Amino acid sequence: MKHTIKLLAFLFIIATALFIVACGPVEEPDPVATVDKGKGTANIPKGTTLSDPGAPTEPALPQGLYKGTPTLEFLGWFNGDDKFEAWGQPQDTDITLIAKWSDPPTAEPLPGTDDIVSEAIKVVNDSTVTTDKFTLLLKEKVTATKAVNLRKGELSITSTDGFQKTIKGFKVDSGYAVYLTVGEITTASTYDKTLTPKLTLEHIRLEGVEAGDSLIRVSAKATLTLNSDLMITGHKNSSWNGSGATGNGSAVCIVDEATFNMNSGSIIEDNESTEEHKSSATASTGTGNRNRVGGVYTFGKVILNINGGEITGNKATKIPGNTADLYATEGCTFNLSGKVKIGELTINADVPGAEETNSSNASSTVPATITVSNLENDVGKLSLRTTGTLAVAKTVWEGKPILYGLDASVL
């Protein structure tokens, strides 16, 4: 019995000791400095050190039209009115650092009361120097009230915060219903080739309409560039008039020595050409214009630089066999590189001496020049059109062994 009591007493002593140890003072963890780069704040509790976190996320600029490329200068991290320089040193007190930036650039004044896209393009067109560069920043969705035509200068349209903004609407009063034109808007024979406007779209969703002809037409040595987070969608042609450079119904039409740059992150999808060329609106059948294309159509000595992106899911439904996604005409220079996805690609590979009656600007005596390099390419269907022999047409396509997704018999 005595041994049992001694054992219980011993166990009690051990348990008490463990309890005292467990309930002893708890050491506080070292304070931790935290940085919120999105808000531009840094909290440094007493006793901690912080290495220089660098510039935080740049604040969004106000919506508007700016000369050049608007940016803010990062001035540094400030503790109150004093610039903080004690990086890597323990702090004697709790402090909160705030990132400071230069004053934002001033937006260009816009003249009218219409939508901001047409107002901005009017300012660019009226600028006294043809090489002026402008940037239009959009804060929210825009409904365009009219067709617009960029005739000179360089304009980039993007968002204030790096998130995609929608431009939709567009209306025309008469003539061929092209809603956004870069370059001269008249017929191919009277283009003013001295005009060299450039339009760049990034972080933009451009929604088409269910009427008229093309959504975008680029002409007269002008340039259209599509960059990341860019989508062109929802355009449906219903125009019966026109052929060749007009009336083709594509979402994007590139004609007469213009340049089209398409880069990674840009998408052209779910557009549709629903009509065919007819002699009149009441004619029951059309002339079978082969150039009806849902996505992108080229005409003449254009330059296509497709360095990434997707042209898929477009339709040409009125005439079976027309190209759904991309039609590259004879005489064009077509450069493919990067990761590209195209649902249906048609190359008009007419050979020297082939007859072409659509336009003298088509330069049909020169076959398309195709260059493929460093390509991760997925083409669902490839067609070569030619009035010569297929053996000759093959010579315009270089690098075909690195393509995949193709029926080898096509080539």
193/307 same-domain check: yes
**Has residue 110 been placed in a domain?**
no
50/129 same-domain check: no
349/406 same-domain check: yes
**Has residue 13 been placed in a domain?**
no
Residues with Cβ within 8 Å of 93's Cβ and at least 6 positions away in sequence, in order, are: 46
The pLDDT value recorded for residue 366 is 44
For range 323-335, the mean pLDDT: 79
Q: Please, are residues 247 and 239 in contact by the beta-carbon 8 Å criterion?
A: yes
CA distance readout (Å), 297 to 21, 300, 311, 328, 358: 80, 10, 12, 7, 14
**Is residue 292 helix, strand or coil?**
coil
Instruction: Give the model's confidence band at 381: pLDDT under 50 very low, under 70 low, under 90 confident, else very high.
Output: low
User: How would DSSP label each residue in 144-194?
Assistant: E-S-EEE-SSEEEEEESSSS-EEEEE----SSS--SEEES--S-GGG--TT
- Tens digit of each residue's pLDDT (9 = 90 or more) over 193-235: 677 899 999 999 999 887 777 889 898 889 999 999 999 999 9
The pLDDT value recorded for residue 384 is 60
Q: 227 versus 354: which is more confidently predicted? A: 227
Give dist(CA 199, CA 182) in Å, integer. 7
**Has residue 6 been placed in a domain?**
no
Q: Taking the model in full, what pTM does it have?
A: 0.79
Closest alpha carbon to 209 in 162, 154, 249: 249
Give the CB-side neighbour count of residue 23, counting CA atoms within 13 A.
6
Query: Residue 397 carries which DSSP code?
Result: B
265/312 same-domain check: yes
The letter for the amino acid at 171 is: K
Give dist(CA 59, CA 42) in Å, integer. 16
144/49 same-domain check: no
**Is residue 98 helix, strand or coil?**
strand
The pLDDT value recorded for residue 163 is 94
Q: Please, are residues 274 and 250 in contact by the beta-carbon 8 Å criterion?
A: no
**Has residue 19 been placed in a domain?**
no
The pLDDT value recorded for residue 10 is 53
**Has residue 76 been placed in a domain?**
yes
Give dist(CA 187, CA 198) in Å, integer. 19
358/222 same-domain check: yes
120/96 same-domain check: no
Range(s) of the domain holding residue 93: 34-60+72-101
Give dist(CA 201, CA 168) in Å, integer. 14
- What tokens were used for 16? 């008490």
The pLDDT value recorded for residue 167 is 95
Q: Please, are residues 336 and 377 in contact by the beta-carbon 8 Å criterion?
A: yes
The pLDDT value recorded for residue 367 is 46
- Tens digit of each residue's pLDDT (9 = 90 or more) over 263-300: 999 999 999 887 666 656 566 665 544 457 889 988 77
**Is residue 26 helix, strand or coil?**
coil
The residue whose two tokens read 């990067």 is 338
358/211 same-domain check: yes
The pLDDT value recorded for residue 322 is 63
383/236 same-domain check: yes
**Has residue 8 been placed in a domain?**
no
95/136 same-domain check: no
- Tens digit of each residue's pLDDT (9 = 90 or more) over 109-148: 998 877 899 999 999 998 876 568 999 999 999 998 888 8
